Each structure stands twice: as structure tokens, then as C-alpha cells.
Structure 1
Amino acid sequence: MTQSKPSEAYFHLHLVSDATGETLINVGRAASAQYANVLPIEHVYPLVRSMKQLERVLIEVEANPGIVLFTLVDKDIRGRLRSRCEELGLPHLSVMAPVVRLFQSYLGGEPTPRVGGQHALDASYFKRIDALNFTVMHDDGHLTEDLEHADVVLLGVSRTSKTPTSIYLANRGIKAANIPLVPNVPLPPNIEKLKKPLVVGLVASPERIVEIRQNRLLGLNAVETGSSTYTDREAVSEELAFSRRLCARNGWPLIDVTRRSIEETAANILSLYSDHRRRSIAET
């Protein structure tokens, strides 16, 4: 049986994992993003660790034919999924297999399969939890007296994605605090004296900031008063100009997030943080 290519503007994407499925979701979405005119309908099946669980998955796969990606440690479960996909003529791939083979060719020896091994409760896991706790407690200008304990401090006017970027960094083990720049509200007195953290300014185009703020007000069913400058373009431009001057005066890097995703902004910050750490070590 040969499965024909989908003619619709969507396709079914089956993600079968014996762990959380996060790896598959990230891989599937990264690949799907290369096809702008075709949208995936995701079917995620986490914690598939028995034949009985797999059979329920196979019923769904047969009812909604599409691409099947999987990460399964158990050979029998993996073999059953493969054979059924072949019977149905469906494309299927163990996304970790090519990577594991590459590691094996370089490192030698046989790998030791572990279900959900990347989620082990090891030191790096607890580092991420610690970073997440720190970041939540230091969100939106809270607890500014101990910013020296942060790894990264983000500064920016309202709606420059400070909080989601901080949370993303925390999931990478980075203790991130963020400080809003608000007109006529003084900055924490210690902000320009910080030595350990990397301080990064976030800006965007005035048009983008105004658009996001207007959408936020609509979402909150809020009405802006005549005296408010929250969505006034000239006022927003001045807020952003102040941000730029502040960062330039202190030699802090500035990132324009207008056309960047949270992931792209965080990747840029992580690169800057690596350079910052190397310089700090060299100076000690």
C-alpha cells in the first residue's frame, strides 16, 4: 500500500514517545515550519510503554494517516510500530536513531537505552528548577536588592517580551531577572553598579510596541484615558530612546526584538552571556 501525498493544506503528524514527547514536538515543529503552506495536525502520544498503549496509538494512526515520528527505547514496541507503518505505507522515523548511530561511530561501544534519560533528576535538572524559582521571584522589577545574584538582568519598556524571555532562559538554567523601564519611575539604585550579571536591554520599533499595547488593552477590556501616553507613538518613541541612551551610557548590549521570536532573542542573550562569562573568568 502506497500512501499518496496530501492535497489539502494540512497533514497529520503523529508523535509517539515513551517519555514526555518534548523532543519529538520540537523536531516536528521545526521541520513543519519549513512548509509555510501546509499546517500539521499534531497527535502527541506520550508515555507509550506497553503494547496495549501502542495498539491504541495505531488505531489513531490508521484513522488519520500521515507522518509518524517516534522515540521508543523498547525494541519490540518500536518494531511493532515500524511494521504497522510499513503495512499502511506511512512514512516513519525514529528521530534519535541517526544521532545515536553517529555518537556510537565516534564513541564506540553500545549505548545504554534509558527511557526519558534527558529528564533525569540530576544536577542540571535542579539547576534549572533553581533558576526558574529565581526568575519568577525577580519578575517585573521585584526583589531588586539582590540582583547581583542573577546571571542575566533584562531591561526594557513595557511589551518588549522581558518575562517570556526570562522564563525561557530559566529553562536553560540561567537565573534571569527583568526590570521594566517606566516613565518617571526611577531605576533600582544598584542597577548601574552590578558586576556579576550580564545586563541586556530589549527594544522594539515604536509601531510594534504600540500595536502590542493596544491589543493588550483590548484583551483586558480596558479604556485608555485621554491623558494616558501608553499607546501614544511619540511617547513610546521617547521611552525607547531613553532605553537606548541608558544602555549606551553603561555599555550594555541592546537587542531589537521587533522581528525576533523569544527563542531567537534568548539564543542571542545566551551567546552574549557566554562571552560575558569568559571575560569575567579571564579578569579573575
Structure 2
Amino acid sequence: MKEHMPIVYVVSDSVGETAEFVVRAAASQFNGGRVEIRRVSYVDDPEPIKEVIEAAKEVNGFVAFTLVIPSLREFIIEESKRQGVHLVDIMGPMLEAFQNVVQMEPKRRPGLLHQMDDEYFRRVEAIEFAVKYDDGKDPRGLLRADLVLIGVSRTSKTPLSMYLAHKRIKCANVPLVPEVEPPEELFQVSPKKIIGLTISPNELNLIRQERLKSLGLKAQANYANLDRILLELEYAEKLMRKLGCPVINVSNKAVEETASIVMDILKRGGGKA
């Protein structure tokens, strides 16, 4: 099997991150995804396109592009044919599909996805909220949150909060520890806006052991002790029952999978997971 991965040039009349994401996703299927990407952003005339095609030919690479301006699209297609460089049109087929189905002409304006519209600012606000009210830092945020996540340590509360923030959900989270009383504000929040996260004891044990190792600590510490973990999970389960909130078992689940379940619960207005 050939180990060498080609250099891929990404050409865009905007940022180019969409094309780069697609290239990396494809490259992950080959040789562990090790690929060199050279991004050329905000292209608005043919000259840099010509230079990129020549560079790709020199290193035996190829070019992926997301250009929406017709003249630039035509130029990169013709130039790549002339130079014999492999070219991948990432945006074109999708534009054509939309055009055929909705019977409308695309706007052909670069960067529309990245315009700072209301949706963008709501996402930023949600991310700032998740950072500010992470790990129970300020209980006052619980009353302002769209969603409150609760669970013992290492049940993915923080990464899940950040993922949901990118979906414009203002999410706060509270760690549950038997020796620490949960904040009073938690009991003032509607159970429909609270979701408990639980996990299998054995999986949590492994996660915590790895966490201790990464910190240079002994894996035998109480934090990763199975009896301690069972105690914490039992305490958390009792509290979740008392609150009457939905509970998700995150064992062997990616953050994206758990987030999908969370959003389904929110759409239903709360209830059992």
C-alpha cells in the first residue's frame, strides 16, 4: 500500500474551511488521515488560481475548490485541464442539485455562510454562556440557562455543553458530589430543562484512571476507586429521581450522539430519555 499522501490545495473565494473539512474527512479513510493541505482563501481573480494549479502539478498533488463566481469556476476548470491536474469541485454538484430542485438561480456571492447574522451572534452568546457557567461556577446562571446538565465528574458535561452551545443552546452544568450540597437554584429550575448524565461504573473507572495518568497521578487514587464511583453514581441517581429530570446513559456514546438525544428531549419539551 502506498504510504505517501498527496498535497491537496484548497481554493476558495471565501475562508475555505468547508473544502478543507471535506478533504480531511476523505483523507481519514487513507493512511490515518495524514495529509498536507495548503489553503488559498479569498480568491477573487484568476492569477492565484493559475499559480496554485502550477504548484499542484509540480508536486503531483491535486486541487479541491469551493468557488461560486462563474468566471473563476470556469477558469479553474479550464486551467486544471490544460495543466493535467486533478480537480475536485466540492460546491458545484450541491449548487446544481439545489438549482434543479428549487428552480432558482444561486446568488453566487462568496462567504454567505460566514456572514455575521443573528444566528452567528446567538451562537457566540451561547458559547460564552457555556464557558461562564461551566462546572457550577456561578449557580445564578442556572435560572437563565436553556438547559442544565448534571452528573458526576467525567460524564462529558463540559464537552456536551460546548457542543450544544454551537447549536445555540445556552447550557450550564453542575457537578454532583456526595459531600457537596447542590445549589438551591437547581431546585428552582423546571425538571424539563434539566438533564442528568450517568455512565456505567466500569467505564467511568477507566476514564478516571486515564485522567489521573494524564495528570501524573497514581491510578489508585480515591477518585478512580470503584467503591467511590458506585457511591457517587448512587448519590447522583437519587438526586436525579428527586428532581424528576430525564436521564441519559452516556456509556460508549460520542458527544455528538448524546447531543442528538438531548435535542430530541428538548424538542419534546422534556420527559424520559
Shorter-chain TM-score: what band? 0.7 to 0.9
Cross-structure match for 1:264: 257
Q: Give yes or no for contact 2:134–2:173 (8 Å, CA) kept in 1.
A: yes
- CA change 1:153–1:105 in 2 (3 A) is same
Q: In the alignment, does 2:261 pair up with 1:255? A: no
Cα distance in 1 between the residues matched to 2:232 and 2:9: 46
Q: In the alignment, does 2:266 pair up with 1:273? A: yes
Structure 1 residue 118 displacement after superposition: 0.9
- CA change 1:101–1:219 in 2 (3 A) is same
Cα distance in 1 between the residues matched to 2:179 and 2:106: 59
Instruction: Give the number of equivalent residue pairs.
Output: 270
Cross-structure match for 1:58: 53
Cross-structure match for 1:125: 120
Structure 1 residue 132 displacement after superposition: 1.3
- CA change 1:251–1:172 in 2 (3 A) is same
Matched residue SS, 1:276: coil
Deviations 1:214-245, CA, capped at 9 Å, x for gaps: 33333333457x7x420112211332233333
Matched residue SS, 1:179: strand
Aligned partner (choices 198, 212, 219) of residue 207 of structure 2: 212
Q: How is 1:169-184 mapped onto 2 (pairs within 5 angstroms)?
A: 169-184=164-179
Give 5+ residue unaligned stretches, structure 2. none
Cross-structure match for 2:101: 106
Cross-structure match for 2:78: 83
> For residue 253 of structure 2, what is the amino acid of its counterpart?
R
Cα distance in 2 between the residues matched to 1:97 and 1:254: 43
Cross-structure match for 2:23: 28
Cross-structure match for 1:3: none
Q: How is 1:97-246 mapped onto 2 (pairs within 5 angstroms)?
A: 97-195=92-190, 198-223=193-218, 228-246=221-239
Matched residue SS, 1:190: helix
Aligned partner (choices 25, 37, 57) of residue 43 of structure 1: 37
Q: Give yes or no for contact 1:11–1:40 (8 Å, CA) kept in 2.
A: no
Give 5+ residue unaligned stretches, structure 1. 1-5, 280-284
- CA change 1:36–1:52 in 2 (3 A) is closer
Q: Which moved more, 1:101-110 or 1:188-197?
A: 188-197
Matched residue SS, 1:70: strand
Cross-structure match for 1:73: 68
Structure 1 residue 180 displacement after superposition: 1.0
- CA change 1:199–1:29 in 2 (3 A) is farther
Cα distance in 2 between the residues matched to 1:11 and 1:198: 49
Cα distance in 2 between the residues matched to 1:246 and 1:26: 41
Matched residue SS, 2:184: coil
RMSD, matched Cα: 2.9
TM normalised by structure 2 equals 0.83
- CA change 1:58–1:206 in 2 (3 A) is farther
Matched residue SS, 2:257: helix
Deviations 1:46-104, CA, capped at 9 Å, x for gaps: 52414343345335533554564321123333333333444565553322222222222
